[in-house]
Homo-oligomer: A and B are copies of this chain.
Amino acid sequence: MGAKDRTRDFMKQAIELARRNVNGSNGGPFGAVVVKDGKVIAEGNNQVTSLQDPTAHAEVQAIRKACQALGTFDLSGCEIYSSCEPCPMCLGAIYWARPARVYFGATRQDAARAGFDDDLIYSEINVAPERRKIPMKQIRLDETDSVFSAWNSKEDKIRY
């Protein structure tokens, strides 16, 4: 089987997880898998409403499970297949996990047409913090900077 066929198969597996969510009551219609060395090492499906966890998107769940499986906080060399373009939260999670590559199916606009805020959140990122729909305001105290300087001097820190 060629590389292109395998890519389609992994994507189909992510979509199948999304489809099961339509039939069940875990959360939104999204699925994702993490692949390493040509094998699926973790599956994730959206569990926002069933776990009462707004961060339990398919990609986040798959990344967390893959890290548990591998015993690391770093997914270097892995690929992530998601049934839909990652929202900003999941995109951030992907950058922190550092896989080699991501494949996605539907787009943020498709998600918006199904009632999800992915596209809205992408738009909000480029709005000044205080003018966002959720206003965000900086409060800099004397203590604010001292934490980073202490971190910079910490000798036994684990970088990520």
Question: A residues near B, CB below 8 A?
Answer: 7-8, 11-12, 15, 18-19, 22, 25, 27-29, 48-49, 51-55, 57, 60, 63-64, 67-68, 71-75, 83, 85-107, 110-111, 113-115, 117, 120-122, 124-126, 129, 134-141, 143-148, 150-152, 154, 156, 158-160
CB distance from A122 to the nearest CB of B (A): 7
Among A52, A71, A147, A154, which residue has the most Cβ atoms of chain B within 10 A? A147
**B residues within 8 A CB of A110?**
144-145, 148
Whether the pair B95, A120 counts as a contact (CB closer than 8 A) is yes
Pick the contact of A52 from B11, B48, B72 — CB < 8 Å? B72
Q: Provide the bound-state CA to CA distance between A97 and B53, in Å.
A: 9
Whether the pair A136, B102 counts as a contact (CB closer than 8 A) is yes
What residue of chain B has the Cβ atom nearest to residue A15's Cβ? B143
CB distance from A129 to the nearest CB of B (A): 8
Whether the pair A105, B144 counts as a contact (CB closer than 8 A) is yes
Starting from the known contacts A12-B143, A15-B143, A53-B73, 18 additional A-B residue pairs (CB-CB under 8 Å) come to A7-B139, A8-B141, A22-B147, A29-B148, A48-B73, A48-B96, A52-B73, A54-B73, A54-B75, A54-B160, A87-B96, A88-B125, A91-B121, A91-B124, A92-B92, A95-B124, A101-B134, A104-B138
**B residues within 8 A CB of A114?**
148, 151-152
